[in-house]
Structure 1
Amino acid sequence: MSLHEASYYSFEGESIMEEAWQFTSKHLKELMISKSKQRDVFVAEQAKRALELPLHWKVPMLEARWFIDVYEKREHKNHLLLELAKLEFKILQAIYQEELKDFLCLVHQWLRNIQAYLVEAKWYHGEYTPTQGEFLENGLVSIGGPMVTMTAYLSGTNPIIEKELEFLESNQDIIHWSFKILRLQDDLGTSSDEIQRGDVPKSIQCYMHETGASEEVAREHIKDMMRQMWKKVNAYRADKNSPLSQTTVEFILNVVRVSHFMYLNGDGHGAQNQETMDVVFTLLFQPIPLDDKHMVATSSPGTKG
């Protein structure tokens, strides 16, 4: 059986390993049949399992779980070793359950996003223009900010803190106001194109419909709303009793900051303009030119620092 498993690590052109596979496959089949007749379940099951798939191709923990069950049926088993294997698996299982529980907060965020999209679809097909308040309460979710934050937190935070996780899921305080800002900035940059393509009225159109204001006045109102919301965000950021760490807070704010850059002069995300591309290229790839004369002067032998 060990030789059979080893044969699956062969390279192209290794004829000896190919012969080993053929030899062991034949004898394992014979062994499986004979041991089944003898009711030697442990060996028969192992032979059958090996012929189905080699260990090299299997998920290790799934195979470990299967092996524990089979080993327990063995007549002459090491009880201490079996208990140790069970204990180790239980510990790993508990870790997996904790991780699954954490990523469940993520499933809820996806469901909230889908529900927010459905609300907007209902508005659109019903030709309903929501109030600005209605739009923003739904829009802070549909913009995807809470979901992005939760995904990043679960992917990059070690250890994950239950109190922070619960707060992030609540969409309150700093999260509430930060992603309303994100929604508003997105609307300023994208609403004109999205309305032409066929989409639900955005915060600008909602305000115009609600008050009778012109688009220019509505846009200025939105900008002032963002400025006032940033004041609320600043207060939460300075709160020493906040359940969120400064690292998590800064991540949330960075998402909002990116929106200001991305949508300042139009839709820099969905319809990338050259200005947006140039700035990103400068950030990631373009080196800062150095003063050659200065470099020569500072690196010449004998130059005093």
Structure 2
Amino acid sequence: MEEAWQFTSKHLKEVMISKSKEEHVFVAEQAKRVLELPLHWKVPMLEARWFIHVYEKREDKNHLLLELAKLEFNTLQAIYQEELKDISGTILTILISIITVIDDIYDVYGTLHELERFTDAWLGKYTPTLGGFLENGLVSIAGPIVTISAYLSGTNPIIEKELEFLESNPDLVHWSCKIFRLQDDLGTASHEIHRGDVPKSIQCYMHETGASEEVTREHIKDVMRQMWKKVNAYRADKDSPLSQTTVDFILNLVRMSHFMYLDGDRHGIRNQENMDVGFTWLFQPVPLEDKHMAFTASPGTKG
């Protein structure tokens, strides 16, 4: 698998460069996109919207297929809007909000009396190794508690065997939370350190090895890739006590972390660009084609 990754990455980069001319822009954009993140690391609905937008540029596009994809996206978006109304006041939503607020207050605004041990460690300038940081980081990212809360909120009926297994922090949750922690750090570390936060995985590895920030970030990305291999191995385990639905919502938590933190901090920074992304995804339907065009046979379509 490692050889396959090396081989495909090399040739995709070549395709991205060689097909960058206008007549091959569709292929070049696809190659660039997949080099940013593997497809199974991405949120399916977000990727579908991007693909619809890019596919629409093709001169040989199938209008019927394109219209069907748009209708499916808009239907799913409408379902999500209804679900958003239902969960807006649930315990899970409240829990995530509380975790976020407490985490930021603890890291940045805590007083000496409130954070005595934390302050002592900070004034001793203690920076753990990357491994030590991650053992704590998989908990500090709140992944395990969010996973269990999501299971309790969204599973009907709740299966005691599954719940007990999730509470044991199985490998799927363990590695998924570490990936979440690392992707969060890649997107937020620079901003958080500037505002006085504790060292993140990037600073820990730089302190441990003396590597530059650029080298460290590449190392962190490779660490995440190796962790995804462990997650993928678990997904293939037919003896897992977890249902596919439960596995999917754990994976979607990780996929969402890639989306939220790949290009910065879409969670913590409330700028217009980040707000537009969320609005487009959840509330703006994909414009449909002209009705006549939608039912006109396109290249490759019979009848």
CA RMSD, 1 decimal: 2.7
Secondary structure of the 1:252 match is helix
Aligned positions of 1:97-246 closer than 5 A: 123-246=121-244
Does the 8 Å CA contact 1:124/1:199 hold for their aligned counterparts?
Answer: no
Distance in 2, Cα, partners of 1:268 & 1:237? 28
Aligned positions of 1:1-305 closer than 5 A: 123-294=121-292
Distance in 1, Cα, partners of 2:242 & 2:228? 18
Does the 8 Å CA contact 1:204/1:218 hold for their aligned counterparts?
Answer: yes
Count of residue correspondences: 189
Distance in 2, Cα, partners of 1:121 & 1:233? 36
Aligned identity (percent) is 77
Structure 1 residues 244-290: Cα deviation after superposition (integer angstroms, max 9, x where no partner): 11111100000000000000111110113444322221111112111
Structure 1 residues 1-41: Cα deviation after superposition (integer angstroms, max 9, x where no partner): xxxxxxxxxxxxxxxxxxxxxxxxxxxxxxxxxxxxxxxxx
Distance in 1, Cα, partners of 2:149 & 2:160? 15
Q: Structure 2 unaligned runs (5+)?
A: 1-94, 108-114, 297-302
Structure 1 residues 164-204: Cα deviation after superposition (integer angstroms, max 9, x where no partner): 11221122311110000000000000011111111111000
Distance in 2, Cα, partners of 1:220 & 1:261? 18
Q: Structure 1 unaligned runs (5+)?
A: 1-105, 299-304
Matched letter for residue 219 of structure 1: R
Q: 1:159 to 1:209 in 2, by over 3 A?
A: same
Distance in 2, Cα, partners of 1:165 & 1:133? 28
Question: TM-score of the superposition, structure 2-length normalised?
Answer: 0.57
Does the 8 Å CA contact 1:262/1:276 hold for their aligned counterparts?
Answer: no
Distance in 2, Cα, partners of 1:229 & 1:289? 38
Question: TM-score of the superposition, structure 1-length normalised?
Answer: 0.57
Secondary structure of the 2:247 match is helix
Distance in 1, Cα, partners of 2:258 & 2:194? 22
Structure 1 residues 128-158: Cα deviation after superposition (integer angstroms, max 9, x where no partner): 1011111000000110111111111111212
If asked which structure has higher relative contact order (CA below 8 Å, sep 6+), I would say 2
